[in-house]
Amino acid sequence: MRLINLKPGRPLAVFLALLPFALAFLAYAVASQIRLEANAADKLLPAPGTVWDTAVRLTTEGDRRTGRILFWHDTWASLQRLGLGIGISAGVGLIFGLLIGLLPLMRSFLAQFVAVLSMIPPLALLPILFIVFGLGELSKVVLIVIGTLPFLIRDLSQRVLDLPEELLVKAQTLGASSWVIAIRVALPQVMPRLIQSVRLSLGPAWLFLIAAEAIASDLGLGYRIFLVRRYLAMDVILTYVIWITILAFLIDWTLRWVSRRYFPWAGAGL
């Protein structure tokens, strides 16, 4: 039988899906064991048990000076920046995507400009953002917006352009104005795509968030990681990295659920 025709049953599929996680964990545990046997004070690869203890300590015990549990404050601060940045990006991207996709005049006016803008490496602008917007929340949110907005505009305007010409003509024969076509035909049909694009943008958004937090912040997941790097506190770093991964995965999963729940007609495209 050809390999391309070999399909796993349900139990095997689950087993195969879990296998790489187990293997990665095992590899880490073995490597950690080897290093700790050679030097019990090794900080580079703490034992899984140590990481777990640290995680429990970080999530339950308050800061010695302020009594706040910094882990949750970091999480809240980062999620706020991320949500704000991605939210603004999605909103503005949707509006400009519709304008560029639907109106030939706007397309001539802005499409090339956005294409050029999207080539600017956002991190190169970070110093400018810090200078202009200061070191507060604003510069971090703006970095996420700048980093993800051009992609969203280009992607969404392309989706609008991909709408079958027939649908737009049909809407016109039903007497729809440009406005009605935008809100009743184009907007609902690009909404699932917007969620899809936001899911794709989340990776870069986290990157920009952590980069901005690493450079100038006093709270946030990225800030904490770069802070404890000075003490080679690998157990803390690993806890935070795993937590960020879980957060990113949960956000992605939620968006996919929303998309399936509210746009059932979009079907297999999700």
Partner 1 sequence: MSFVSVRNVFQTYGRRPIIERVDLDVTEGEFISIVGASGCGKSTFLRLLLAQERPTRGEIRIADAPPASEPGLDRGVVFQRYSVFPHLTVRENIVAGEGFRRGWGRFFGAARRAALTRADDTLARIGLDHVAGHYPATLSGGMQQRLAIGQALAARPRVLLLDEPFGALDPGTRQSMHAFLTDLRTETGMTVFMVTHDLEEAFKLGDRVLVFDKPRWDPHDPDVNGATITYDFDARNGGIPFQTLEEKTHVLHPV
How far apart are CB 178 and partner 1 at their closest, in Å?
10
136: helix, strand or coil = coil
How far apart are CB 251 and partner 1 at their closest, in Å?
25
What are the strands, taking DSSP E only, across 31-154?
A: none
How far apart are CB 267 and partner 1 at their closest, in Å?
6
Of the pair 67, 267, the CB lying nearest partner 1 is at: 267
Radius of gyration, alpha carbons of the chain? 23
- The answer to whether 132 and 181 are in contact (CB under 8 A) is no
Of the pair 73, 184, the CB lying nearest partner 1 is at: 184
How far apart are CB 166 and partner 1 at their closest, in Å?
4
Three-state SS for 160-216 is HHHCCHHHHHHHHHCCCCHHHHHHHHHHHHHHHHHHHHHHHHHHHHHHHHHHHHHHC
How far apart are CB 211 and partner 1 at their closest, in Å?
38
How far apart are CB 188 and partner 1 at their closest, in Å?
4
Over the range 199-217, which residues count as b (16 or more CB within 10 Å of their CB) and which as e?
bebbeebbbbbbbbbbbeb
Q: How far is CA 140 from CA 46, 106, 136, 144, 211, in A?
A: 32, 29, 7, 7, 9
Of the pair 61, 162, the CB lying nearest partner 1 is at: 162
Of the pair 21, 265, the CB lying nearest partner 1 is at: 265
Of the pair 91, 264, the CB lying nearest partner 1 is at: 264
Of the pair 36, 176, the CB lying nearest partner 1 is at: 176
Of the pair 117, 171, the CB lying nearest partner 1 is at: 171
How far apart are CB 164 and partner 1 at their closest, in Å?
4
Give dist(CA 216, CA 126) in Å, integer: 11
Can you give the binding site for partner 1, defined by CB under 8 A? 164, 166-167, 169-177, 179-180, 183-185, 188-189, 263-267
Task: Count CB neighbours of 15 within 10 A.
Answer: 12
Of the pair 13, 167, the CB lying nearest partner 1 is at: 167
Give dist(CA 170, CA 128) in Å, integer: 48
How far apart are CB 263 and partner 1 at their closest, in Å?
7
- The answer to whether 123 and 211 are in contact (CB under 8 A) is yes
**Local structure of residue 47 (DSSP, 8 states):** -
Give dist(CA 255, CA 240) in Å, integer: 22
Going by C-alpha positions, the residue among 180, 200, 176 that lies closest to residue 188 is 180
